[in-house]
């Protein structure tokens, strides 16, 4: 059983830092949980108490159109569906697969023919980044696509972006999501917040696109040997890009360090470009370059690991601050 005060604080912070101004529905419901002894008890009994996981489970069970709207509705819904909700919170993870984040990743890619490895890939939808169309205000990258991404940019944003050429791609996840499995696809959709219709349509389109591809998705932990194994399979003649977004945030300090160590070891054999789009503090070397310290912005980091260069030759860059779902990007000068 988790500490009730901690769960209460977690839901209050979620309401104020993540939902306010972005999802009024979850803002109200998160505050309702923080103010309801029975709901706090229910969440505190679960292994993972993350608000996003709880609300995705509620949304999946109720259906989007029947989702509880008020504190009273939520209280009754959880009372009536306690066992099923607990079951979902035990077996599912927060796996929001947000293609919008590709709008942040694209300008960080190096030139040349690339091999992409994504850790914390969920259903691997971000691995399909070369098949989306990007709108950075007037700058449009890519041809028409069912997945169309719009990102408001500011600062010294690059003006001559090109679609990457991707020769190989693979993803790793603790629990890869299979888009061909109806229940998995429904779970992905339930991870999208109720008011976010554009995101939901984009996700549905990306799921359909992914069904037409043969994506290589491996089950494994980014902090164990699975990642070295995957890296050893990457063809030598491509520039290796390892990336992650909203994934290392779910790992503890030891796991993050182990992952960084694996990349540095793997760079004994080849150059690696490591791109991260995560909340502040996740990658300490990128965080150290951040002077804004805005807890609501993600940091777009890029680390160059030169072949055989080890830690000494590591070069870290903070490229931009961005919206967690990729709707805005403020480029650093
Ligand atoms: C919020 S989702 C983000 C998915 C995707 N990166 C995106 O931005 O659309 C986080 C993903 O990281 C995965 N994950 C969390 N910890 C992990 C670990 N230690 N090793 C591999 N995957 C992990 C989860 O299973 C989940 O699919």
pLDDT digits (tens, 9 = 90+) for 146-156: 999 999 999 99
* pLDDT value of position 39: 98
Block residue for tokens 């992650």: 244
Give residue 98's pLDDT band: very low, low, confident or very high (50, 70, 90): very high
Report the DSSP beta bridge partners of residue 272.
240, 305
* pLDDT value of position 94: 94
* pLDDT over 90 (residue 313): no
Write out residues with Cβ below 6 Å of ligand 1. 93-98, 101, 119-122, 126, 172-175, 221-223, 245-247, 250-251, 255
Residue 99: closest CA among 145, 55, 63: 145
* pLDDT value of position 165: 98
- Burial of residue 286, with CB atoms counted within 10 A of its CB: 0-12 exposed, 13-18 middle, 19 or more buried: buried
Give residue 21's pLDDT band: very low, low, confident or very high (50, 70, 90): very high
* pLDDT over 80 (residue 333): no
Residue 216: closest CA among 206, 230, 203: 230
pLDDT tens digits, one per residue of 256-303: 999 999 999 999 999 999 999 999 999 999 999 999 888 789 999 999
* pLDDT value of position 40: 98
User: Which mutation among 47, 132, 173 tests ligand 1's pocket best, with the greatest number of atoms within 8 A of CB?
Assistant: 173
* pLDDT over 90 (residue 309): no
User: Which mutation among 224, 227, 250 tests ligand 1's pocket best, with the greatest number of atoms within 8 A of CB?
Assistant: 250
* pLDDT value of position 310: 82
Two structure tokens written together for 320: 């931009």
Residue nearest to atom 10 of ligand 1 (CA): 247
Q: What percent of the chain has pLDDT over 70?
A: 100
Average predicted confidence (pLDDT) for the chain: 96
């Amino acid at each position: 059983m988790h500490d009730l005060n901690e769960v209460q604080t977690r839901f209050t912070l979620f309401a104020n830092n993540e939902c306010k101004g972005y999802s009024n529905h979850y803002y109200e419901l998160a505050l309702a949980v923080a103010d309801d002894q029975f709901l706090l008890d229910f969440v505190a009994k679960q292994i993972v108490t993350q608000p996003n996981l709880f609300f995705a489970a509620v949304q999946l069970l109720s259906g989007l159109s029947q989702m509880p709207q008020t504190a009273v509705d939520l209280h009754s819904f959880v009372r009536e569906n306690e066992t099923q909700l607990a079951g979902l919170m035990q077996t599912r993870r927060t796996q929001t697969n947000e293609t919008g984040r590709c709008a942040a990743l694209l300008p960080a890619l190096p030139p040349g023919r690339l091999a992409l490895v994504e850790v914390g890939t969920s259903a691997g939808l971000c691995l399909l980044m070369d098949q989306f169309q990007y709108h950075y205000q007037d700058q449009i990258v890519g041809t028409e696509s069912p997945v169309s991404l719009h990102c408001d940019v500011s600062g010294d944003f690059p003006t001559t972006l090109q679609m990457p050429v991707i020769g190989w791609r693979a993803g790793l996840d603790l629990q890869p999501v299979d888009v061909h499995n109806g229940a998995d696809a429904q779970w992905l959709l339930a991870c999208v917040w109720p008011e976010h219709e554009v995101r939901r349509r984009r996700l549905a389109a990306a799921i359909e696109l992914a069904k037409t591809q043969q994506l290589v998705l491996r089950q494994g932990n980014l902090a164990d040997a699975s990642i070295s194994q995957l890296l050893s399979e990457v063809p030598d003649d491509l520039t290796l890009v390892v990336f992650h977004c909203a994934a290392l945030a779910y790992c503890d300090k030891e796991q993050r360090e182990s992952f960084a160590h694996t990349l540095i070891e793997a760079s004994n054999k080849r150059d690696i470009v490591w791109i991260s789009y995560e909340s502040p503090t996740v990658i300490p070397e990128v965080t150290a370059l951040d002077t804004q310290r805005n807890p609501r912005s993600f940091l777009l980091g890029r680390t160059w690991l030169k072949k055989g260069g080890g830690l000494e030759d590591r070069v870290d860059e903070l490229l931009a601050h961005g919206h967690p779902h990729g709707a805005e990007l403020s480029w650093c000068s």
